[in-house]
């Protein structure tokens, strides 16, 4: 009787263990299926919003920067230590004005040696010339042979060529001494001085930066999606905060090539001469009139924008419901939305939670 009771107890325990194992396996499979559900149905959990447009016609502003049309980095042509520095950053200079001097003592000695060699070559040329004239007279009187006259003529021409070569070498050495004096190529303003007294200048090393304040322009990036809405004449205007009212440029140029990285075109607005308080590097805006009543600027919610260092991107949810990270070029912020200059078209849906979209595979 006791043995039967023990067998029943062992059978009951085995059955309970089997049932518990089956229950744990079913629970594990349920959790695994729940973990895989976002990968199968990403659109069911992702919150999205469409990229909206501002269809108002009129003008649009695009951020830019003031730059000089003529800006030159003056470099050395010959090596030498800086022995005189006549300008500093901010100074106005005239064309041909001496900016700095390099140590030219070795070049001066080389020029003096070349000048002495020129004098020696000219003396040898004069002697060969007189000897050739005497040989001609003797040949006319049949005192020397034709071969002797030819040798005298060859000596004369050799001396003449050597004198010309020494003269050219002397002129080159004299030109080298001029390279040690750095002059302004045009009238302008010194923007930066990269050396101090005693620095060693090498060929190609920048010494200072010079720009022409009478020729400035505003450079801005315009999205390629606005090309159909831009008027043919491009009556654009420039705005420089702190300077005053909008400025009418003297020339408007839209470069024909599109930047493949940002899908934008470069717009250049030449500013009139004589603007007070304007210098390269200042923040500016380019105002463009937009023709027609078509779709305007594209906006997305600020929370949809992903910023990583210099990268700006959004997760665009495609027709299959899967998010795809896409780089964009941002414009100005307007409340809780941000303008998209390039990268997203109107009507495309973007994920509002970039962290959640990044976990979808």
Task: Calculate the CA 124 to chain-centre distance.
Answer: 58
Buried b (16+ CB within 10 A) or exposed e, 131-167: ebeebeeebeeeebeeeebeebeebbeebbebbeebb
Burial class (CB within 10 angstroms; exposed 0-12, middle 13-18, buried 19+) of 219: middle
- What integer pLDDT is reported at residue 360 of this predicted model? 79
Give 43's pLDDT tier (boundaries 50, 70, 90): very low
Residues of the chain with pLDDT > 90, as a percent, come to 23
For 258-311, the pLDDT digits (tens) are 888 888 889 999 999 888 888 899 999 888 876 554 446 788 888 888 888 778
Q: Do the Cβ atoms of 213 and 188 come closer than 8 Å?
A: yes
Q: Do the Cβ atoms of 344 and 298 come closer than 8 Å?
A: yes
- What integer pLDDT is reported at residue 41 of this predicted model? 46
pLDDT at 332 over 80: no
- What integer pLDDT is reported at residue 73 of this predicted model? 93
pLDDT at 247 over 70: yes
Q: Residue 155 has which token pair?
A: 């000596």
Burial class (CB within 10 angstroms; exposed 0-12, middle 13-18, buried 19+) of 80: buried
The least confident of 17-26, 140-149, 240-249 is 17-26
Q: Residue 290 has which token pair?
A: 């937009």
Q: Which residue has the higher pLDDT, 288 or 214?
A: 214
Among 349, 270, 289, 290, smallest CA distance to 315 is for 349
Task: Calculate the CA 121 to chain-centre distance.
Answer: 53
| pTM for the whole structure | 0.55
Three-state secondary-structure class, residue 56: coil
Q: Residue 64 has which token pair?
A: 């830019």
Length of the chain: 361
pLDDT at 193 over 90: yes
pLDDT at 318 over 50: yes
- What integer pLDDT is reported at residue 38 of this predicted model? 45
Q: Residue 262 has which token pair?
A: 């940002």
pLDDT at 251 over 70: yes
Q: Which helix (H) or strand (E) holds 341?
A: strand 337-342
Q: Which residue has the higher pLDDT, 223 or 97?
A: 97
- What integer pLDDT is reported at residue 32 of this predicted model? 43
- What integer pLDDT is reported at residue 211 of this predicted model? 94
For 47-93, the pLDDT digits (tens) are 888 888 765 545 678 889 999 999 999 998 889 899 999 999 999 99
Give 35's pLDDT tier (boundaries 50, 70, 90): very low
Write down all domains in the chain, each with its CATH number in brackets: 41-55+294-361 (2.40.420.20), 58-70+214-292 (2.40.30.170), 73-102+180-211 (2.40.50.100), 104-178 (1.10.287)
């Amino acid at each position: 009787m006791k043995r039967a009771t023990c067998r029943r107890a062992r059978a009951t325990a085995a059955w309970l263990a089997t049932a518990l194992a089956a229950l744990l396996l079913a629970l594990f499979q349920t959790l695994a299926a729940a973990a895989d559900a976002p990968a199968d149905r990403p659109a069911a959990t992702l919150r999205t919003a469409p990229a909206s447009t501002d269809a108002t016609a009129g003008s649009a502003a695009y951020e830019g920067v003031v730059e000089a049309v003529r800006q030159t980095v003056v470099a050395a042509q010959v090596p030498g230590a800086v022995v005189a520095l006549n300008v500093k950053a901010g100074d106005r200079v005239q064309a041909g004005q001496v900016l700095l001097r390099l140590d030219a003592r070795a070049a001066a000695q080389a020029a003096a040696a070349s000048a002495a060699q020129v004098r020696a070559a000219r003396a040898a040329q004069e002697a060969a010339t007189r000897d050739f004239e005497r040989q001609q007279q003797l040949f006319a009187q049949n005192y020397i042979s034709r071969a002797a006259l030819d040798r005298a003529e060859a000596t004369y021409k050799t001396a003449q060529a050597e004198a010309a070569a020494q003269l050219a070498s002397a002129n080159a050495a004299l030109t080298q001494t001029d390279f040690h004096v750095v002059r302004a190529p045009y009238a302008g303003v010194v923007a930066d001085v990269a050396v101090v007294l005693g620095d060693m200048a090498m060929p190609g090393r920048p010494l200072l930066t010079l720009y022409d304040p009478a020729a400035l322009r505003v450079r801005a990036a315009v999205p390629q999606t606005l090309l159909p809405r831009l008027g043919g004449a491009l009556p654009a205007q420039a705005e420089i905060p702190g300077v005053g009212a909008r400025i009418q440029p003297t020339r408007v140029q839209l470069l024909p090539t599109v930047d493949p990285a940002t899908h934008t075109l470069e717009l250049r607005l030449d500013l009139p001469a004589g603007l007070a308080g304007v210098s390269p590097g200042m923040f500016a805006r380019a105002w463009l009139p937009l023709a027609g009543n078509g779709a305007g600027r594209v906006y997305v919610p600020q929370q949809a924008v992903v910023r990583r260092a210099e990268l700006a991107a959004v997760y665009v949810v495609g027709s299959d419901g899967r998010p795809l990270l896409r780089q964009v070029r941002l414009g100005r912020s307007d409340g809780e939305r941000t303008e998209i200059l390039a990268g997203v078209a109107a009507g495309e849906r973007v994920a509002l939670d970039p962290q959640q979209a990044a976990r979808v595979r």
